[in-house]
């Protein structure tokens, strides 16, 4: 007989007890009523069975006083894995009557059942077996497949509504004993199979509806998150589209500017090409005319040679010598023609280069005039550039003079060639001398051409430098224009501030004048109050006569009271009047103390 593993037997027994307790709880709850209290016996037995299942294979932990073996440790770990369990853990810790970890674990199980999420919490705990290994042995129920089966059975408890009072219940001292009498079969159970089948069908439908509701809630949450992400991405795309539109507008403007510049460059190049074509056609025509004239002269020379050969048959030997000389002269003439053609080509190229230089000089002169109008502050630099352009014009004139000299030399050479052709028989020696002279002249022309090339190179370098200076001047002009704009803006702001300051100063002056007037009035009032403080006015009945003239007061002689000395005078005796800035009319003054007199009515009139 094979020996069974005692831990496997314990796991199987606990699994069967969990099945029986969950099944009995559901059946009794459906028959009794789905809302259950804490005093309901099947519910109490369910918590006892769950406590035994969670305690199976639990590791013993050492404490300061004794060894501790409790299920609160793994249950407390659920709030880290499942964020919704933080509320249960916080409420369990805040309960005042719980003192032991076992009591907290029992309260946690009751709250999880009331939330209908006990299966979800334990499922998250079973998945993390590496964390459970800190609390359970490897052969524990929660570490094996039986734990997953129990979690699946706990899903059926979602059909039960539990109303448990955890606050006043003594959970620390409860004894967890399983009552097996509740799970024994009876005759009533056999008779009520049909009712159980109907209840099971209803429970299945409710579980299906709740599971469908959960899936729909999860899909709604995912759709909300997706809508938020799509809104964010849409806003980002709108911003990127606006930026792209702005970039496209800028690029279109740049493209338009570049096209306009390209058209201007094409117009300039076409104009230059037309001018060059006209010059080339003129040079070709001159070359053709010169070639025809040379051919005609050459034919005439040959005709004369034939006539002289016929007339001078006697001098055959000399003619042979002359023929050989003639061949040599022809070779020399061909060489001269080739040299002349090459020189003409070089002259044409030089003329084209001179035309280009003239056009560049004209453009540079126009640009310089524009910069002179825009830049009055840079007159010195522009004067230098004008000096350079004058030097370039002088060099161009020198080049033109040299070209004219070269053309004259060419004409002289042609005339000399005609003379040589006419007198080539008698003056062969002279031709040789002239040929040597022509070679010297050719050498001189070649040297002149080399010098002209060097001058052209130097002129191109100077033009490049002048272009760079012109670009620098353009940049400086742009900077000066920007500075002028900023200066104008600052002047406008300064003018506005000056107007505001002037308005404020005028307002302050008005306020100061009003304040000075009010201060003068206050000082007059204070002075009158000071004078009147120590004086006692006489009664109207007692003041009957003037102090100076001792005449009785009447309507014509009114009473005037001195503020300082307290004397009473009539208007005839107090004729001294002084103007005051605070009063529009002059004031009467006392003759003795020169204080201000106050007029009093001689009759009892208010």
- For residues 458 and 63, the model is more confident at 458
Residue 529: C-alpha distances to residues 228, 526, 534, 561, 600 (Å): 82, 5, 9, 14, 17
* Beta-strand pair 61-62/67-68: antiparallel
- Is the pLDDT score of 2 beyond 50? no
Which residues, 6 or more positions from 582, have their beta carbon under 8 angstroms from its beta carbon?
Answer: 517, 520, 521, 524
**SS3 at position 19:** helix
Report residue 517's pLDDT band, with 50, 70 and 90 as the boundaries.
confident
Quick one: which of 155, 160, 152 has its CA closest to 199? Answer: 160
- Structure confidence by residue, pLDDT tens digits, 19-31: 988 888 888 888 7
Least confident range of 13-22, 41-50, 211-220, 554-563: 554-563
d(CA 331, CA 339): 12
Helix axes 101-115, 86-94, angle to 10 degrees: 130
Q: What was the pLDDT predicted at 604?
A: 33
* Beta carbons of 148 and 101 less than 8 angstroms apart: no
Quick one: which of 388, 386, 392 has its CA closest to 455? Answer: 392
Work out whether the CA dihedral 566, 571, 573, 576 comes out positive or negative. positive
* Beta carbons of 421 and 297 less than 8 angstroms apart: yes
- Structure confidence by residue, pLDDT tens digits, 412-470: 877 876 776 677 567 667 767 777 788 888 888 888 888 888 888 888 888 888 888 88
Q: What was the pLDDT predicted at 509?
A: 84
HSE, side-chain direction, 13 A CA sphere, residue 179: 11
d(CA 134, CA 80): 15
d(CA 142, CA 310): 142
Mean pLDDT of 358-363: 82
Q: What was the pLDDT predicted at 238?
A: 92
d(CA 575, CA 590): 9
DSSP 46-60: HHHHHHHHHHTTBPP
* Beta carbons of 582 and 573 less than 8 angstroms apart: no
Count how many residues are written for the chain: 606
Mean pLDDT of 64-70: 55
Mean pLDDT of 522-541: 68
List the structure tokens of 65. 């006083």
**SS3 at position 128:** coil
- For residues 359 and 544, the model is more confident at 359
Homologous superfamily, domain 546-605: Zinc/RING finger domain, C3HC4 (zinc finger) (3.30.40.10)
d(CA 105, CA 227): 41
d(CA 565, CA 573): 15
DSSP 219-268: HHHHHHHHHHHHHHHHHHHHHHHHHHHHHHHHHHHHHHHHHHHHHHHHHH
Percent of the chain with pLDDT over 90: 3
Tell me, rounded to whole angstroms, the distance of Cα 582 from its chain centroid: 67
Q: Is CATH 1.20.58.900 correct for 6-183?
A: yes
Selection from 165-174, 188-197, 426-435, 561-570 with the highest mean pLDDT:
165-174
Residue 162's DSSP bridge partners are 36
DSSP 410-456: HHHHHHHHHHHHHTTTTTHHHHHHHHHHHHHHHHHHHHHHHHHHHHH
Percent of the chain with pLDDT over 70: 81
Residue 8: C-alpha distances to residues 141, 219, 530, 541 (Å): 9, 41, 117, 135
- Is the pLDDT score of 188 beyond 70? no
Least confident range of 414-423, 476-485, 505-514: 414-423
- Is the pLDDT score of 503 beyond 50? yes
Residue 58's DSSP bridge partners are 136
List the structure tokens of 430. 């002279």
Q: What was the pLDDT predicted at 533?
A: 61
Q: What was the pLDDT predicted at 67?
A: 45
d(CA 353, CA 365): 18
Report residue 287's pLDDT band, with 50, 70 and 90 as the boundaries.
confident
Report residue 581's pLDDT band, with 50, 70 and 90 as the boundaries.
very low
- For residues 322 and 588, the model is more confident at 322
- Is the pLDDT score of 583 beyond 80? no
- Is the pLDDT score of 578 beyond 50? no
- Is the pLDDT score of 190 beyond 70? no
Consecutive H or E run containing 588: strand 587-588
d(CA 347, CA 353): 10
Report residue 575's pLDDT band, with 50, 70 and 90 as the boundaries.
low
Q: Which long-range contacts (CB under 8 A, 24 or more apart) does 307-312 make?
A: 308/425
Residue 114: C-alpha distances to residues 42, 162, 168, 189, 417 (Å): 15, 5, 16, 28, 131
Q: What was the pLDDT predicted at 193?
A: 59
Mean pLDDT of 514-531: 80
Mean pLDDT of 468-487: 86
Residue 559's DSSP bridge partners are 570, 600
- Is the pLDDT score of 65 beyond 50? no
Consecutive H or E run containing 372: helix 316-374
Q: What was the pLDDT predicted at 249?
A: 92
- The single-letter DSSP state of residue 66 is S
Mean pLDDT of the chain, nearest integer: 79
Q: What was the pLDDT predicted at 587?
A: 57
Mean pLDDT of 243-268: 90
Parse the chain into domains and list their residue ranges. 6-183, 546-605
- Is the pLDDT score of 601 beyond 50? no
d(CA 177, CA 48): 7
- For residues 572 and 279, the model is more confident at 279
- For residues 202 and 158, the model is more confident at 158
Q: What was the pLDDT predicted at 420?
A: 63
* Beta carbons of 574 and 588 less than 8 angstroms apart: yes
Q: What was the pLDDT predicted at 591?
A: 59
- Is the pLDDT score of 552 beyond 80? no
- Structure confidence by residue, pLDDT tens digits, 108-130: 998 998 888 899 999 998 998 88
List the structure tokens of 172. 């620390």
């Amino acid at each position: 007989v094979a020996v069974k593993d005692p831990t496997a037997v314990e796991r199987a027994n606990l699994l069967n007890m969990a099945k029986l307790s969950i099944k009995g709880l559901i059946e009794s709850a459906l028959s009794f009523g789905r809302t259950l209290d804490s005093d309901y016996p099947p519910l109490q037995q369910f918590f006892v069975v769950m406590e035994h299942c969670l305690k199976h294979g639990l590791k013993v932990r050492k404490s300061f006083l004794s060894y501790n073996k409790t299920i609160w440790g793994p249950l407390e770990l659920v709030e880290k894995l499942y964020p919704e369990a933080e509320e249960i853990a916080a409420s369990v810790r805040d309960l005042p009557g719980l003192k032991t970890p076992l009591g907290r674990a029992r309260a946690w199980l009751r709250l999880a059942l009331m939330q209908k999420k006990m299966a979800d919490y334990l499922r998250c705990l079973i998945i993390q077996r590496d964390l459970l290994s800190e609390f359970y042995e490897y052969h524990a129920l929660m570490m094996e497949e039986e734990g997953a089966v129990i979690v699946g059975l706990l899903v059926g408890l979602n059909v039960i509504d539990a109303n448990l009072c955890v606050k006043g219940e003594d959970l620390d001292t409860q004894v967890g004993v399983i009552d097996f009498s509740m799970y024994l079969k009876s005759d009533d159970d056999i008779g009520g199979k049909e009712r159980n089948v109907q209840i099971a069908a209803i429970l299945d439908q409710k579980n299906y509806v709740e599971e469908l509701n959960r899936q729909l809630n999860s899909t709604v949450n995912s759709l909300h998150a997706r809508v938020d992400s799509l809104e964010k991405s849409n806003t980002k795309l709108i911003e990127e589209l606006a930026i792209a539109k702005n970039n496209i507008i800028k690029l279109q403007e740049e493209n338009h500017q570049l096209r306009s510049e390209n058209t201007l460059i094409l117009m300039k190049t076409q104009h230059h090409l037309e001018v060059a074509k006209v010059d080339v056609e003129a040079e070709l025509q001159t070359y053709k005319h010169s070639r025809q004239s040379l051919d005609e002269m050459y034919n005439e020379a040959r005709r004369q040679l034939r006539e002289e050969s016929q007339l001078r048959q006697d001098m055959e030997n000399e003619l042979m010598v002359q023929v050989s000389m003639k061949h040599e002269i022809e070779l020399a003439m061909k060489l001269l023609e080739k040299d002349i053609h090459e020189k003409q080509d070089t002259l044409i190229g030089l003329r084209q280069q001179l035309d280009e230089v003239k056009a560049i000089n004209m453009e540079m002169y126009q640009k310089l005039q524009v910069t002179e109008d825009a830049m009055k502050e840079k007159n010195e630099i522009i004067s230098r550039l004008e000096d350079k352009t004058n030097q370039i014009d002088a060099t161009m004139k020198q080049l033109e003079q040299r070209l004219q000299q070269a053309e004259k030399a060419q004409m002289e050479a042609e005339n000399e060639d005609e003379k040589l052709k006419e007198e080539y028989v008698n003056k062969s020696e002279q031709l040789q001398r002239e040929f040597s002279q022509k070679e010297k002249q050719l050498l001189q022309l070649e040297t002149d051409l080399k010098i002209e090339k060097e001058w052209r190179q130097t002129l191109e370098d100077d033009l490049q430098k002048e272009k760079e200076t012109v670009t620098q001047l353009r940049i400086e002009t742009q900077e000066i224009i920007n500075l002028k704009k900023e200066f104008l803006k600052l002047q406008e702001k300064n003018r506005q501030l000056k107007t505001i300051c002037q308005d404020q100063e005028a307002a302050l002056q008005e306020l100061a004048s009003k304040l000075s007037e009010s201060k003068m009035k206050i000082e007059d009032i204070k002075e009158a109050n000071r004078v009147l403080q120590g004086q006692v006015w006489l009664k109207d009945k007692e003041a009957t006569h003037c102090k100076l003239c001792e005449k009785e007061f009447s309507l014509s002689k009114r009473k005037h009271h001195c503020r300082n000395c307290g004397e009473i005078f009539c208007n005839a005796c107090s004729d001294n009047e002084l103007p005051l800035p605070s009063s529009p009319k002059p004031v009467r003054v006392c003759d003795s103390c020169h204080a201000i007199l106050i007029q009093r009515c001689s009759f009892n009139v208010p």
